[in-house]
């Protein structure tokens, strides 16, 4: 056991310190300036006592905090916590030799997350399924009774979701995850992690799952994309369009964060005659951008593109939208194809968009709005654009995953 002084909070949300022999120490659930007593296991420590607490330490809002691995920073006051998120972006940019204006962090409200992944495990004898999140640094399960991050309508459905999970546990090797999305027509649940080598879910289990879904009044339940139960088509509104979600479709986790990022992109795209929306998903940015100019939208998922296209016809007030299912890693949109494009909006996965960024850099596009859930890969792509003559004008941090170390951002590049 050692007494440590916490110097900063690192990128993963752990307090950073030095052991008595000068080696780095990572201590979760601590804050800058604190003096703590910790049990060390290699470079990682677990707090035994807070000897001198930071004035920024607050009482966590969830009784599961500290055990549940979903949140890492509930014990930090809002202002320094949000400033830390912006600082993580500055650090990643500086590692790439980049500087820019970093705007104040947009703070998503608590109890607003509409998309969660719930893990299911067998309960004790005579009990149903246990449902929750993984423990901190463990594969064990923390059964969830409350969650101040998640929309209360999902929390209210936890008992019904646990009953739904039970039939998916019939095989001893199954470890189901319920990917739950709150839509305008109810809960849409896509289940993964069910053992398939032995034949998959039995007819009896499917029937019991469908009955549980009906009792829970869920909109739809799918097993790795295959429909198990369908009462209503899950619908979401994106701009003026109403989109029917494909099973397992990507959707931004928090509506307020989605609005903030889309509003930012739309404001920066004003005056454009043609816009490219790359990694467009089901049209999160597309439909709002199409109120300004014609949009070329590309996304690898064919079902997502089909859903986007189906929503175009019934929606009025849009400029023309051309949508294409296209692998932007293996077949990025070429610089020549961007010849008449004024603005590119790009929202790649965590791995970034290295291949597509090279083509944008070679093009004559005047402005790029980059959306990212990974400041490190954003910085790498930004370096390519800056080296090609773009200027990173500003970055807006977005705290979509509240109290976690994850950071979203929107950056603006101009020639």
Annotated binding site: which residue ranges? 252, 279, 299, 347
Torsions phi, psi of 372, nearest 5?
A: -150, 150
Query: What is the distance between the alpha carbons of residues 352 and 217, in angstroms, rounded to a whole number?
Result: 38
Annotated binding site for S-adenosyl-L-methionine: which residue ranges? 252, 279, 299, 347
**By three-state DSSP, how is residue 53 classified?**
coil
Is residue 383 within 8 Å of residue 96, measured between CB atoms?
yes
Residue closest to 47 by CA, chosen among 28, 63, 20:
28
Evaluated on CA atoms 199, 205, 211, 212, the torsion sign reads: negative
Q: What is the DSSP letter of 169?
A: G
- Is there a catalytic annotation at residue 62? no
Query: What is the distance between the alpha carbons of residues 342 and 376, in angstroms, rounded to a whole number?
Result: 26
Is residue 251 within 8 Å of residue 115, measured between CB atoms?
yes
Q: What is the DSSP letter of 22?
A: S
Is residue 375 within 8 Å of residue 88, measured between CB atoms?
yes
List of residues 6+ apart from 231 with CB closer than 8 A: 186, 213, 214, 217, 218, 219, 220
Give the angle 132-222-185 at the CA atoms, nearest 5°.
85
Catalytic residue ranges: 373
């Amino acid at each position: 056991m050692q007494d440590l002084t916490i110097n900063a909070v690192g990128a993963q949300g752990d307090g950073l310190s030095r052991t008595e022999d000068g080696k780095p120490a990572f201590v979760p659930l601590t804050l800058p300036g604190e003096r703590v007593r910790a049990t060390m296991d290699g470079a990682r420590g677990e707090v035994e006592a807070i000897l001198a607490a930071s004035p920024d330490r607050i009482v966590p809002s969830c009784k599961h905090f500290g055990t549940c691995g979903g949140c890492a920073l509930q014990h930090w006051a809002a202002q320094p916590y949000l400033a830390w998120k912006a600082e993580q972006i500055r650090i990643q940019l500086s590692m790439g030799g980049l500087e820019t204006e970093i705007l104040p962090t947009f703070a998503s409200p608590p109890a607003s997350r509409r998309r969660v992944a719930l893990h299911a495990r067998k309960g004790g004898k005579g009990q149903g399924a246990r449902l929750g999140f993984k423990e901190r640094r463990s594969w064990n399960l923390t059964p969830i009774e409350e969650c101040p991050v998640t929309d209360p309508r999902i929390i209210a459905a936890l008992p019904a979701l646990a009953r739904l999970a039970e039939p998916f546990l019939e095989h001893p090797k199954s470890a189901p995850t319920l990917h739950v999305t709150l839509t305008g027509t109810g809960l849409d649940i896509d289940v993964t992690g069910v053992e398939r080598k032995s034949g998959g879910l039995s007819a009896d289990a499917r029937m019991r799952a469908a009955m549980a879904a009906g009792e829970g009044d869920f909109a739809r339940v799918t097993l790795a994309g295959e429909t198990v139960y369908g009462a209503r088509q899950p619908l979401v509104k994106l701009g003026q369009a109403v989109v029917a979600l494909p099973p397992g479709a990507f959707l931004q986790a928090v509506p307020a964060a989605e609005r903030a990022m889309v509003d930012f992109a739309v404001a920066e795209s004003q005056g454009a005659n043609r816009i490219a929306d790359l990694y467009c998903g089901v049209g999160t940015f597309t439909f709002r951008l199409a109120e300004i100019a014609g949009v070329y939208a590309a996304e690898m998922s064919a079902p997502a593109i089909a859903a986007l296209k189906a929503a175009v016809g019934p929606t009025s007030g849009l400029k023309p939208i051309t949508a294409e299912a296209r692998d932007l890693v293996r077949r990025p949109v070429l610089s020549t194809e961007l010849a008449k494009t004024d603005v590119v909006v790009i929202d790649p996965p965590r791995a970034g968009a290295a291949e597509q960024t090279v083509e944008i850099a070679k093009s004559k596009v005047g402005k790029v709005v980059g959306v990212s859930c990974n400041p490190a890969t954003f910085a790498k792509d930004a370096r390519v654009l800056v080296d090609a003559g773009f200027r990173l004008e500003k970055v807006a941090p977005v705290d979509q995953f509240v109290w976690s170390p994850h950071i979203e951002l929107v950056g603006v590049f101009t020639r």
